Amino acid sequence: MRFGFRASVIATLFGSSLYLASTASAQQKQAPAVPDAPSPQSASPLTDMSGPITPGIGANANTGSATGGSAPASSSQNQAPMQPATPIAQTPPQATPPDMPNPQDLGPILKVNVTYVEVPVTVKDSKGKLVSGLTWRDFRVFENGVYEPLKEFFVDPFPLSIAFVIDQSLTADVMQRVNDSLGAIQGALTPYDEIAIFSYSNGAQERTGFTGAQSARVPAVLALTKETGREEMIPYNSGPMAGCNIHVNGNCADPNIQPGRSVGSGPFITIPKEIHTLNDAILEAAKELSTRPKGRRRVIYVISDGKEYGSRASYRDVLHYLETNNIAVWGTLVGDSARWGEGYISRFHLPFQMYDNVLVKYTAATGGGLDAERSLNGIEKSYQEIAEEARAQYTLVYASHESIYDGKFRSIDVRVERPGLEVTAKRGYYPSAQEVQ
């Protein structure tokens, strides 16, 4: 009984071991063989890379394929190590192409100098108001009668470089109004503008060079520019008072008008002429303006009655300088030239007489503007109105067809293709080497 139990247990264990052995052998037959992991390989050197450019070597003579590189190997173990490519000696670059060893072989070089002409234009309607909103299609420019297409067109306001010229040879009453109005000059200008101040009576004098329009220096200089003016007297050149029309303590107030002096002697004496050196003053201001950079509107603003006598510079020479340096003359007429009727007659020159109003000729030739005012309020408003007109001009730019080397005067005619409008522009210019581009 005990022997039988042991035999059955041994048979059971033996059967289980046979079952497990058969199951393991079956699993070993079904599972695929797993290869060993690859051994670590060292990185390929940079010389293994082939192509038109090899790092560290430069250009490679053997490109290998049309695409500039060779096909990669399937296995690094079966591929023989590549030999490093032989570097190619690099030659220094040549100064000129091989087929043109000398600069003379380049042949003739065509160089064209172009003169760009800048024309500021003011457009007003029949009521004298500024007209805005015009485009470049509304303007036509002719130089010496030939139509010139526009190259550039600007409507943006320009910063102003203004040289103020103040007449100190005015009569005392007119000079007083001018002195009181000088404080309104800064109110008509912006911080982007600049100003220089000149004065004249018997000769031009520069009070200050160009400085900021809103600088604290401007009111101080304008205060020093104020003068009392001259007394308006009625001269006598005949009669009992011809020798001296004004006496002080029994003596002549002005020794120059005594008999035997500059006025001569005898029953008829020569009355000395007044001195108004307007031409010299405008020329001095123009010389200072010619040094201002491009991109600024060059303006000479004259406060005067327009009389001219005694200047060393002639009107023709001063106008030539203005038209060469693109400078416009604007002004406010005061005194006798601002009176209705008399102001118009003063524009005409009488033979053997002084020029009563030469300022009109300057403004008309340079494309500026002129305003006639007699009251203090009118003079102050004229500063603002003229500064606004000078800043808000249309700017036309064209390329001249004339030679830049002849130095001849070129006339300019600006037209607007709209009816009822008044166009103001400079009448012409002289070419300058500064404008060649």
Report the share of the chain in percent with pLDDT over 90.
39
Contacts 24+ apart (CB under 8 A), 345-354: 346/306, 354/273, 354/274, 354/276, 354/307, 354/308, 354/309
Q: How confident is the model at residue 30 (pLDDT cuts 50, 70, 90)?
A: low
Task: Looking at the structure, tell me whether residues 402 and 431 fall in a common domain.
Answer: yes
311 found inside a domain: yes
Task: Looking at the structure, tell me whether residues 142 and 175 fall in a common domain.
Answer: no
Spatial separation of the C-alpha atoms in residues 191 and 213, rounded to whole Å = 6
Q: How confident is the model at residue 402 (pLDDT cuts 50, 70, 90)?
A: confident
Task: Looking at the structure, tell me whether residues 294 and 149 fall in a common domain.
Answer: no
User: What's the pLDDT at 74?
Assistant: 47
Please give the structure tokens belonging to residue 321: 């300088």
DSSP assigned state of 2: H
Torsion of CA 345, 349, 352, 355, to 10 degrees: 90
Residue appearing with tokens 């080497």: 433
Round the CA-based radius of gyration of the chain to a whole number and report it: 47
Whole-structure pTM over 0.85, yes or no?
no
Spatial separation of the C-alpha atoms in residues 50 and 52, rounded to whole Å = 7
DSSP assigned state of 436: B
Task: Looking at the structure, tell me whether residues 352 and 316 fall in a common domain.
Answer: yes
Q: How confident is the model at residue 178 (pLDDT cuts 50, 70, 90)?
A: very high
Q: Please list the residues that pair with 121 across neighbouring strands.
A: 394
For residue 324, give Cα distances in angstroms to 47, 192, 330, 391: 71, 25, 17, 21
- Region 26-32 average pLDDT: 53
2 found inside a domain: no
Task: Looking at the structure, tell me whether residues 143 and 291 fall in a common domain.
Answer: no
Phi, psi of 174, rounded to the nearest 5 degrees: -70, -40
Spatial separation of the C-alpha atoms in residues 179 and 257, rounded to whole Å = 30
- Stated as kind and residue range, the H or E segment containing 12 is helix 2-30
Q: Please write the tens of the pLDDT for every residue from 230-276.
A: 776 555 555 555 556 566 666 666 655 555 555 555 555 555 667 88
Q: How many residues does the chain have?
A: 437
Question: Contact at 8 Å (CB) between 398 and 146?
Answer: no
Amino acid type, 397: V
Q: Please write the tens of the pLDDT for every residue from 334-371.
A: 988 877 766 656 666 566 555 678 899 999 999 998 88
pLDDT at residue 66 tops 50: no
172 found inside a domain: yes
User: What's the pLDDT at 199?
Assistant: 94
Nearest Cα to Cα of residue 422 among 126, 176, 182: 126
For residue 109, give Cα distances in angstroms to 256, 395, 402: 70, 34, 21
Task: Looking at the structure, tell me whether residues 256 and 285 fall in a common domain.
Answer: no
Report the share of the chain in percent with pLDDT over 70.
60
User: What's the pLDDT at 128?
Assistant: 86
Task: Looking at the structure, tell me whether residues 359 and 325 fall in a common domain.
Answer: yes
Q: Please write the tens of the pLDDT for every residue from 297-321.
A: 999 999 998 888 889 999 999 999 9
For residue 284, give Cα distances in angstroms to 21, 92, 291, 318: 124, 60, 12, 10
Task: Looking at the structure, tell me whether residues 214 and 297 fall in a common domain.
Answer: yes
- Distance from CA of residue 227 to its chain's centroid? 36
Q: Return left, alpha or beta for 426; rule: phi > 0 is left, psi -120 to 50 is alpha, else beta.
A: beta
Spatial separation of the C-alpha atoms in residues 384 and 2, rounded to whole Å = 139
Q: Domain range spanning residue 405?
A: 111-157+392-437
User: What's the pLDDT at 231?
Assistant: 74
- Helix, strand, or coil here: 425? coil
Question: Contact at 8 Å (CB) between 347 and 393?
Answer: no
359 found inside a domain: yes
User: What's the pLDDT at 242?
Assistant: 55
- Region 410-418 average pLDDT: 93
Task: Looking at the structure, tell me whether residues 243 and 362 fall in a common domain.
Answer: no
136 found inside a domain: yes
Question: Contact at 8 Å (CB) between 139 and 150?
Answer: yes
Q: How confident is the model at residue 63 (pLDDT cuts 50, 70, 90)?
A: very low
Residue 133 CB burial class (10 angstroms; 0-12, 13-18, ≥19): exposed
- Stated as kind and residue range, the H or E segment containing 147 is strand 146-148
User: What's the pLDDT at 65?
Assistant: 46
- Helix, strand, or coil here: 368? coil
Nearest Cα to Cα of residue 409 among 430, 427, 425, 432: 430
User: What's the pLDDT at 71?
Assistant: 46
The count of structural domains within the chain is: 3
pLDDT at residue 1 tops 60: no
Task: Looking at the structure, tell me whether residues 142 and 291 fall in a common domain.
Answer: no
- Region 133-151 average pLDDT: 93
306 found inside a domain: yes
User: What's the pLDDT at 120?
Assistant: 94
Question: Contact at 8 Å (CB) between 141 and 412?
Answer: yes
82 found inside a domain: no
Give buried/exposed letters for 362-397 (b at 16+ CB in 10 A, else e): bbbbbbbbbbbbbeeebbbbbbeebbebbbbbbbbe
Task: Looking at the structure, tell me whether residues 226 and 243 fall in a common domain.
Answer: no
Spatial separation of the C-alpha atoms in residues 333 and 343, rounded to whole Å = 9
Q: Please write the tens of the pLDDT for every residue from 103-131.
A: 555 556 555 555 789 999 999 998 889 99
User: What's the pLDDT at 351?
Assistant: 61
Q: What is the CATH number of the domain that holds 291?
A: 3.40.50.410
- Stated as kind and residue range, the H or E segment containing 217 is helix 217-225
Task: Looking at the structure, tell me whether residues 293 and 202 fall in a common domain.
Answer: yes
pLDDT at residue 416 tops 60: yes
- Region 189-207 average pLDDT: 92
212 found inside a domain: yes
Tell me what the pLDDT averaged over the chain comes to: 76
